[in-house]
Structure 1
Amino acid sequence: MKQLLIISGLPKATYYYWVNCFGRPNKDEEIEKVLIKLRKLHPNAGYRPMVELLKREGYIVNHKKVQRLMRKLGLCITSFWRKTRKYSSYRGKVGKVAKNLLNRRFNSKVVHQKLVTDTTEFKYYDNGQVKKAYLNPYMDLFNREVVSFEISKQPNFIAISNALSKAIEITSDCPYRRTFHSDQGWAYQTPYYRQKLQEHNIYQSMSRKGNCHDNSVVENF
């Protein structure tokens, strides 16, 4: 053995360290079995989602340990989702563009007087598959409360219209004329949307073209 260690250049202490390690019981055997089971159910989950999945199974494990065990078991993801283009509701001038009445005045001393809205795309998992959903919130600038919202699987006008109708009804108690602010998305330019606001004596305000800072409160949300 001494000659073999000399030829291989392996230190004696290192050799006996690994000999002792091979004889130790695997303390992570139970967690490793759960990881293998979860990988079959969630083939696209990386080590961070795995941490949350383990919590659901009743195992509280540090993310570094999960990453190490996944590497050991060969469970690391080898392919990644291609970064897709961020959703944009802007389709050019398809209707009438309103003036920027809000002008970045993102505060209000009156409840339900100023509301901001936008359509946001996000991804979610459904039986191991990545799908998209679209959120349409209406936020009150008085206290940053979301007074109404709709979630849909497609960026359609029905969801925006439903959220608008709820927002109009909820904010009808405002003693002053209301202002609803949005970007220049196609849905907000349509005659129906504009007419809906006019029927309830609501000012329409829009951000400048390609300027997300004009609607930064709801953009950050």
Structure 2
Amino acid sequence: MKRLQLEHDLLTKANELIKKIWASICGSWETGKRRCWLMPYDRHMHCRNSLRGWSSPRSSYFYHRSLLSLEDRYAELRQNIVTLFETNRNCYGYRRIHAALARGGEQVSEKVVRRLMKQEQLIVTTARRRRYTSYQDELDPAPENLVNRDFHAARPNEKWLTDVTEFRLLAGKVYLSPIIDCVDDLVVSWSVSTRPDAELVNTMLDAAIETIADSLERPLVHSDRGAHYRWPGWLSRMQSAQLTRSMSRKGCSPDNSACEGFFGRLKNEMYYNRTWINTTLHDFMQQLNSIRWYNQHRIKISLSGVSPTEYRRNLGIAA
């Protein structure tokens, strides 16, 4: 009994191994073809019982066995496909292989080319492109979210919001980094660049710190968890100006929704539904100075129909 059990276990493991080998070599073959190849049929009771155990009818077995005895009608085409694939640096997919065959006068369906390439394991290796993201893992412990989605402020320079947004043009990409005051959505400072690097945010922060007239004012600066706000240059500037850091949760844009809303309004009014085909990066960066119009002239219903600059002027606050 132990010997029979051992033989059974060995055959089970061997069967699993053979299935994996066939799946890697020609995974597109049907199960019936694999069974036909693994077990040549004879009239002995053992093979009949094997067919019965596999729930495979005799007619199916003979059908697949007859197919195996036929010659491969795509043998020449298969060789041509392999040659085209290897001579073109292994970078032609089935569409280009089909086009190359058509140029040579070979009339064949794309589906046939794709199936034969799959059987021959002719796979184009491509490197996955990594999308840009400002999040570069946890560089240091992130501060708490002190704003907690409360974007109201009682006085200027109490809560500042910042983030980086991207504008795509045919000539390239432009990045905008502003600081917004929560009391009236005034853009305290901003910087524009063609690269989302540390200089973009550091220049903006330096300009914002210079606007603080009262030495007792210590704004709370809220941002996302981008690497720009965790690099040594940003941290040293925050510490020198004695500003308090606050960060959103990872991948949670609603935690900075007021700044995201500013980006949405700015793009709806000056970027979307406009043609930028012949616009250079320099010209577009100059047009982003429309933020001055946003501060000085664009009225806000939440401010009783005046602009942020006029709102502060009415309160006797220098903008």
Q: TM-score normalized by structure 2?
A: 0.40
Could you say if the C-alpha distance between residues 116 and 86 of structure 1 is closer, same or farther in structure 2, counting changes exceeding 3 Å? farther
Question: What do the CA deviations read for 1:162-190 (whole angstroms, capped 9, x no partner)?
Answer: 00101111134374431000000001011
Question: What do the CA deviations read for 1:70-116 (whole angstroms, capped 9, x no partner)?
Answer: xxxxxxxxxxxxxx998531111123311111111101011111100
Equivalent pair of 2:142/2:247 in contact (CA under 8 Å): yes
- Which of 99, 110, 126 does residue 155 from structure 2 map onto? 110
Could you say if the C-alpha distance between residues 112 and 141 of structure 1 is closer, same or farther in structure 2, counting changes exceeding 3 Å? same
Query: Mean Cα displacement is larger for which, 94-103 or 208-217?
Result: 94-103
Equivalent pair of 1:96/1:190 in contact (CA under 8 Å): no
How far the C-alpha of 1:197 sits from its partner, in A, is 1.0
Moved beyond 4 Å, runs of 4+: 84-87
- Which of 145, 155, 160 does residue 201 from structure 2 map onto? 160
Q: How does 1:49-198 map to 2 (within 5 A)?
A: 88-124=133-169, 129-173=170-214, 175-198=216-239
* 1:211 and 2:261 are equivalent in the alignment: no
How far the C-alpha of 1:195 sits from its partner, in A, is 2.1
- Residues in 2 aligned to 1:88 and 1:132: alpha-carbon distance in whole angstroms: 14
Aligned to 2:241: 200
Equivalent pair of 1:115/1:141 in contact (CA under 8 Å): yes
- Residues in 1 aligned to 2:137 and 2:165: alpha-carbon distance in whole angstroms: 18
- Residues in 1 aligned to 2:143 and 2:157: alpha-carbon distance in whole angstroms: 20
Could you say if the C-alpha distance between residues 174 and 216 of structure 1 is closer, same or farther in structure 2, counting changes exceeding 3 Å? farther
Q: Which one has a larger percent helix, Structure 1 or Structure 2?
A: 2
Aligned residue identity for 2:186 = E
- Residues in 1 aligned to 2:154 and 2:131: alpha-carbon distance in whole angstroms: 34
Could you say if the C-alpha distance between residues 171 and 96 of structure 1 is closer, same or farther in structure 2, counting changes exceeding 3 Å? farther
Which of the two has higher C-alpha Rg? Answer: 2
How far the C-alpha of 1:198 sits from its partner, in A, is 1.5
How far the C-alpha of 1:131 sits from its partner, in A, is 1.5
Higher relative contact order (CA 8 A, sep 6+): 1
Equivalent pair of 1:183/1:215 in contact (CA under 8 Å): yes
Structure 2: unaligned runs, 5 residues or longer: 1-128, 263-319
Could you say if the C-alpha distance between residues 86 and 213 of structure 1 is closer, same or farther in structure 2, counting changes exceeding 3 Å? farther
Structure 1 SS opposite 2:212: helix
Aligned to 1:56: none
Aligned residues: 134
Q: TM-score normalized by structure 1?
A: 0.56
Q: Which one has a larger percent strand, Structure 1 or Structure 2?
A: 1
- Residues in 2 aligned to 1:218 and 1:86: alpha-carbon distance in whole angstroms: 22
Report % sequence identity: 37
Q: What is the root-mean-square deviation in Å for CA atoms of aligned residues?
A: 2.0
- Residues in 1 aligned to 2:216 and 2:235: alpha-carbon distance in whole angstroms: 21
Structure 2 SS opposite 1:173: coil
- Residues in 1 aligned to 2:159 and 2:221: alpha-carbon distance in whole angstroms: 6
- Residues in 2 aligned to 1:144 and 1:123: alpha-carbon distance in whole angstroms: 25
Aligned to 1:14: none
Structure 2 SS opposite 1:171: coil
Could you say if the C-alpha distance between residues 133 and 86 of structure 1 is closer, same or farther in structure 2, counting changes exceeding 3 Å? farther
- Residues in 2 aligned to 1:139 and 1:104: alpha-carbon distance in whole angstroms: 15
Equivalent pair of 2:189/2:204 in contact (CA under 8 Å): yes
Structure 1: unaligned runs, 5 residues or longer: 1-83
